[in-house]
Structure formats: structure tokens, C-alpha cells
A and B are shown apart, each in its own frame.
Chain A
């Protein structure tokens, strides 16, 4: 079975803290994605990566950065967390582009106080 593992299910941070959300996949997928999920807004793409060290901005990249040093790991970084970044964060991976099936992690619910 494909497995996408997000390092934390729940995270509470303070405003201004630097936050790292980690995601690991075990299927040798080229593509990895970070989404944010808010009620009524569905899934919004923050960043995606189609290869090691490669990244592309999604719809809402402001306030976020990403890192992909190894194929299996994709990190989302909040340089200075703010309360409006309180949300559910979902990581996904796929074999080829977006027309490949995306496999999701269980999500990290981040609260910024």
C-alpha cells in the first residue's frame, strides 16, 4: 500500500514561531504537494514539487516555503507563523503530474495562537 506520512496530527504554535511540517512517502513518487484545507474553501494548493530540489508555487504560496532535498521527503515551512495560518494541512504524492492518482496523508491540524 502507498503510504504518505505526515509527522504530526496536531500542532500548536505561537505567533512568530518558525514551523516545519514534514511529509514522507514510500512509493518513489516524483511529485509531491502541500495543500491547505479550510471550511467552505476545499483544498487549496500551496506548493508542489515535481523532482528533488524543484518546486512550483500553487494558488496560495504567500507566507510559506518548501524544501525537497530527498525524493521521499517534502517539507512545508512557515517562516513566521500567524493566526491566519491556523488550518488543516494535507500532503500528497503522485507518480506523474496531476493526471496521476494523488495519495494523501492524514493531515496536520495546525493551531497558531
Chain B
């Protein structure tokens, strides 16, 4: 079975970079890697996705390992508003295989 694993929680200081890891042990060569985040009392929202090379957008950067078995979401300068649960997933046959999520705690 496809499997995506993430740490349960991470802490970071405000205005410092944050690196959130994800393992995609069974991802195939054509599956995109996605990251979403969920703020309290809201549905998840898209952050970033990529296939093989690193990706950047206004919210974050995505670093994908050469073997694609792991990825890292990078928040370059965390703010209190970035406190959320971050989900990674690999897509497979219409489905996203989601991890259980990492709760990111930002300390002022």
C-alpha cells in the first residue's frame, strides 16, 4: 500500500526558516508530491506541489529528493500565521495518499 509519513509536530521560532519533512516510501515516478495546510476551523488549503525538481511559490519552497522518496516543505521566514497542520501527499490514480499531518507550532 502507498504510504506517506510525517512527524506529528514541530516547533519553530518566529521569523526563522522551517523545514517540514515528508517520506513517500511507495511513490511512483509519475506521482506529483503535494503539500497543503489547515488553519484552525478551516478546510485544508493548497500550498505547493511538484514532480521532480524543486519548486518555489509565494508561500513556500518544495525540495524533492533525487529518488523522490522524501520531500521537504520550506517556509523561509515563519510567522505566527503559519501555525497550522501541514499535510503532504503523493497522488496516485486520482487519489492523494495523505500523511497524518505535522502540527507546526510557532513560538513568538
Which A residues fall within an 8 A CB radius of B? 4, 31, 40-45, 48, 50, 56, 58, 90, 92, 97-99, 101-107
Task: Tell me how many residue pairs across A and B have CB atoms closer than 8 Å.
Answer: 57
Residues of A within 8 A of B96 (CB): 43, 45, 98, 102
With A99-B32, A99-B91 already in contact, the answer to whether A106 and B98 are too (CB < 8 A) is no
Apart from A4-B43, A45-B96: 11 A-B pairs, beta carbons within 8 A: A31-B94, A42-B100, A42-B101, A43-B87, A48-B95, A97-B94, A98-B34, A98-B95, A102-B96, A104-B45, A107-B42
Which B residues fall within an 8 A CB radius of A? 31-32, 34, 36, 41-46, 49, 87, 91-96, 98-101
Q: List 14 A-B contacts (CB under 8 A).
A: A4-B43, A42-B99, A92-B44, A97-B94, A98-B91, A98-B94, A98-B96, A99-B32, A102-B36, A102-B46, A104-B43, A104-B45, A106-B42, A107-B42
Which of A42, A97, A106 contacts B91, CB < 8 Å?
Answer: A97
Residues of B within 8 A of A98 (CB): 32, 34, 91-96
- Who on chain B is nearest to A107 by CB? B43
Q: Is A56 a contact partner of B43 (Cβ separation < 8 A)? A: no
Residues of B within 8 A of A56 (CB): 94
Which of A4, A50, A105 contacts B94, CB < 8 Å?
Answer: A50
Q: Is B94 a contact partner of A40 (Cβ separation < 8 A)? A: no
Q: How far apart are the CA atoms of A43 and B95 in the complex, in Å? A: 11
